[in-house]
Structure 1
């Protein structure tokens, strides 16, 4: 696995890095590509939803990005992508993803952003990128690990 570390002194830095990753996704776009899966790991309040908001807005969503804590998933049609933002914090069993039709979310040209992915282990797709956000006093440390060829291509641009 390839990894890069980032020190993010502010929320603005976190949003800027999310924008850079979204721009890399736009630059590396190929028609009919397999779903891109990004796992977001960190404690409550670490910045997973903030990162997702910056990423989704950088892909072209002009409205608010709601936390899917209670709905489990919020979807955004951002042509040419369908972005599905999952928050699995409230998931009691990974099989619940099967009951909600997880396979319907995995078409080509789909981007999956999954917070608390460990709660969907075995059902949620393996990640192309694994992003770990940790507190560093008032700032954040972020580690982005690439687990696939596509993930490594995106990581190299950051």
Structure 2
């Protein structure tokens, strides 16, 4: 079973994000995005938003911690916890209110929120593999397995 894919450039990362959006559908999920600075986590999120029909810019929510993107009957929350100094800050953000069956939560730097975040359905680890990057995934729930299987089917189809 495939559990990783090589992405040659930003365009391929955006395309992977689009496939991720298609695989999730409107069921909602919690997806952790791991990787060093500059590995393409926000680029992947941009692909998700564009595939869902978002026309505007998709920027990293480094300073705001979360950016909501609303779609008919569905919402995506893009978190970037890089600047979080204490995971307890998430309590003041009202973190529990963001997670529902109608929400896709994409969380960059989830380790910074350890103890305050729900378990991820799927974890994506982005790493450098010159000249591009590699995305490896871990399926943590039945929903995560379904999403990953749909992504694999997209790449095999």
Whether the TM-score (by the shorter chain) exceeds 0.5 is yes
Structure 1: stretches of 5+ with no match in the other structure: none
Count of residue pairs brought into register by the alignment: 151
Contact 1:40 1:131 in 2 (8 A): yes
Structure 2: stretches of 5+ with no match in the other structure: 152-157
Correspondence 1:55 to 2:48: yes
Matching residue of 1:141: 134
Q: Under a length normalisation based on structure 1, what TM-score does the superposition of the two structures give?
A: 0.91
Residue by residue over 1:107-152, the C-alpha shift from the partner in whole angstroms, topping out at 9 and shown as x without a partner, is 3301110000000011011100100000112210110111100110
Matching residue of 1:13: 12
Matching residue of 2:154: none
Determine the C-alpha separation between the residues in 2 that align with 1:73 and 1:51.
16
What is the alpha-carbon root mean square deviation over aligned residues? 1.4
Contact 1:3 1:143 in 2 (8 A): no
Matching residue of 1:45: 38
Q: Under a length normalisation based on structure 2, what TM-score does the superposition of the two structures give?
A: 0.91
Correspondence 1:155 to 2:154: no
- The match for 1:124 among 96, 110, 117 is 117
**What is the SS of the residue equivalent to 2:90?**
helix
Determine the C-alpha separation between the residues in 1 that align with 2:77 and 2:40.
18
Residue by residue over 1:79-122, the C-alpha shift from the partner in whole angstroms, topping out at 9 and shown as x without a partner, is 22111100000001111000111112123301110000000011
Correspondence 1:22 to 2:21: yes
Contact 1:3 1:144 in 2 (8 A): no
